[in-house]
Amino acid sequence: MADKLTASDVQKLLTDPSTDNRALAADKIAAQFGSGALSDSERRIAEDIFRIMVKDAEERVRAALSKHLKDAPDIESSVAKSLANDLSDEVALPMIQFSEALSDADLVEIVRNQGGARTKAVAGRPTVSTKVSDAIVEHGDEEAVVTLVSNSGAEISEKALNRVVETYGDSPQIQDPLVHRPTLPVTIAEKLVARVADHLKDYLVQHHELPEQTATDLILQSREKATLGLAGQGNSDDIAALVNQLRNNGRLTPSIILRALCVGDLGFFEHALAALAGVPVANARMLIHDEGELGLKSLYQKAGMPPALLPAYRSALDMVHSAEMERTDDDPEHRMRRLLERVLTEHEEIVEEFGADNVDYLLAKFGRLAQASKAA
C-alpha cells in the first residue's frame, strides 16, 4: 500500500505539479481513501481532489486513482463513472471489473456503447445481475459471452441462455463452460444434448436435470455396440462413476435401470443395484447371477427397488443371459426386440408402475433399431 500523504507531498505538489508528483499524490490519496483510514472531513476533501484528478491529462495520474478506488464501494458515483468511461483501458478496466460504485444501469451503458475488452470486464465481475447479463448476451461478442457463462457469480436468465445456445451453441468455447455452470434450466440442458461432445453429454446427465428419456438415451448410447451392449462395453470404473453420480443426484431410478437391462446393458444393471444396495459390485454380480432365486431377490430388496417389479427384472435378466449364450446368427437387435416383447407382455405391472411413457420409450427405441436393421 502507498505511504500516507504528507505535508511534504502537498508542498511538492504546490511548488512542482509535475506528472510524477501528481501521480504520487493520486496514488497516496486514493490508497488512503480505499483503506478507510480517512475521517469524514478528510474524505470530502479527497473526493474534491479526485473530481479534479479524473480529468488530469496524464494517464498515469488517472491510472493511480483507478488502481486503488476500484475497491472502494463508497466512492462518489461521478468519480467511478468518469474512471470507468476513461479513454484508456488501463484506467477504465479495473473500475469496470471491480467497482461496486457502478450501478447496473452504468454497466449496461458500458456494454451497449463500449464493447470489446470492456464488455468482457463487465462479464467477469464477481457478481453480474440478470439485467447486465441480458445486455452482454445481446451486445457482446463471443469472447464476452464465454467470460459470462464461465462466471459462476453471473445470474443469467433462461431467455438469455436460450439466445446463447442459438447463437453460439456449436462453439466448443461456449459449450464447455455452459455445461459446467452450477445450474441449468432443463430446457437449456436438453437443447445442449444434440450439440455437445460425448464427455459433455455425460456431464449433463450427471449434473443437470434432463427429461428421463433424454437422460436414458445418453446413458445407454455411450456403451452400446452393434450388440446393444450385450458384451458389456465400457470401463467398469467409468460405469461405476456414472452410476454413483446418478445415485447421488437422486436420478438412478428404477425405470432407467429397467430400460438399461431391456437393451442388454448388463454392466449398468450390476453397478446400479450394487450402488443402491451399498455392496461391492463383485458381490452384487454373484447375487445377480446366482442360479437360485434368493440372490437377486435379496439384492433387489436391499436396493429398495419396487417389489411388484421383481418378476419383470428377473425375466429381463434371464433373457439377457439367454441372448448372451445363444450367439445365433439372429441379429442382436431382433433378439433384444423379442426380449422386450416378452417382458412387456408377461409383466403388465410395468405399465402400472412406470406408466405408458416408459413402455412407449422402449417400443420406440426398438422400432428405430428395426428400421436401422432393414436399412442395413
**Per-residue pLDDT tens digits for 143-187:** 999 999 999 999 999 999 999 999 998 898 999 999 889 888 877
Tally the domains of the chain. 3
pLDDT tops 90 at residue 81: yes
Measured between alpha carbons, how far is residue 21 from residues 12, 24, 26, 65 in Å? 7, 5, 9, 14
| Cβ–Cβ under 8 Å, residues 128 and 148 | yes
Claim to verify: residue 230 and residue 305 sit in the same structural domain: yes
- Is residue 95, in this structure, part of any structural domain at all? no
- Is residue 275, in this structure, part of any structural domain at all? yes
> 128 pairs with which residues across the strands?
154
Claim to verify: residue 64 and residue 118 sit in the same structural domain: no
Give the range among 10-14, 192-196, 282-286 with minimum mean pLDDT: 10-14
Measured between alpha carbons, how far is residue 253 from residues 241, 275, 301 in Å? 16, 12, 15
What is residue 337's predicted lDDT score, i.e. its pLDDT?
A: 59
pLDDT tops 50 at residue 73: yes
Looking at the chain, the whole-number percentage of residues with pLDDT higher than 70 is 68
Claim to verify: residue 232 and residue 371 sit in the same structural domain: yes
The residue among 152, 211, 154, 199 whose CA lies nearest residue 175 is: 199
Count of other CB atoms within 10 angstroms of residue 41: 8
Claim to verify: residue 202 and residue 176 sit in the same structural domain: yes
Claim to verify: residue 162 and residue 246 sit in the same structural domain: no
Domain extent, residue 23, equals: 1-87
Claim to verify: residue 199 and residue 235 sit in the same structural domain: no
pLDDT tops 80 at residue 197: no
Measured between alpha carbons, how far is residue 98 from residues 80, 128, 141, 301, 316 in Å? 11, 11, 21, 56, 60
- Is residue 77, in this structure, part of any structural domain at all? yes
Q: What cell was used for 104?
A: 447496473
Q: What average pLDDT is seen over the chain?
A: 77
Claim to verify: residue 50 and residue 152 sit in the same structural domain: no
Q: Which residues contact 371 (CB under 8 A, 6 or more apart)?
A: none
Claim to verify: residue 83 and residue 109 sit in the same structural domain: no
| Cβ–Cβ under 8 Å, residues 161 and 189 | no
Q: Buried b vs exposed e over 342-373: b needs ≥16 C-beta within 10 Å?
A: ebbeebeebeebbeeebbebbeebbeebeeee
